[in-house]
Amino acid sequence: MPTQPSAAVPRVGVGVIIVRDGLVLLGERMGSHGAGTWALPGGHLEFGESVEDCARRETLEETGLLLQTVSAAPYTNDLMLAEGKHYVTVFVQATANGAQPQVMEPAKCRTWRWFRWNAMPETLFQPLKTLVLQGFVPDGTA
């Protein structure tokens, strides 16, 4: 087991799998751990916040999209030793309004693009990569 500072604790992340026309929305990360990888909209669960509320808040903050439906999906448990981080990521599957996603946080995301689940970029953010390796396939993407 790796040595860790006594104050180090796992963080809870929420990843939002937005499905539209059989495609999922991914953003190219910049400026934080995982820079240069492709990730779902999402972020940290705040104290007292529900997973659904976090998914709605983070999606709006990052993409400008309003979520319509939100349902539970699997979770992953990722130890990112190089960054000294440990995340449990709770995923949700969602649909959004018909607007096009916008880069709302240009210091954190270069672009948003739609991909087929089975044809995503090779450089996936670790929690998403783990989810794919677990064999999960979102509804409406097959």
Mean per-residue pLDDT pooled into runs of 10, the chain (142 residues): 61 98 97 91 97 98 98 97 93 96 97 98 97 97 86
Question: Which residue(s) pair with 112 in the sheet?
Answer: 27
CB atoms within 10 A of CB 63: 24
pTM, two decimal places: 0.93
Kindly state the helix (H) or strand (E) to which residue 130 belongs, with its residue range.
helix 126-133
Q: What is the pLDDT at residue 5? A: 47
Task: Give the pLDDT of residue 142.
Answer: 79
Q: Would residue 138 count as lying in a domain? A: no
Number of structural domains the chain divides into: 1
* Distances, alpha carbon 108 to alpha carbons 74, 97, 111, 112, in Å: 25, 23, 10, 11
Domain with 108 in it: what CATH number?
Answer: 3.90.79.10
What integer pLDDT is reported at residue 33 of this predicted model?
A: 84
Domain that holds residue 114: 11-133
Distance CA 40, CA 34 (A): 12
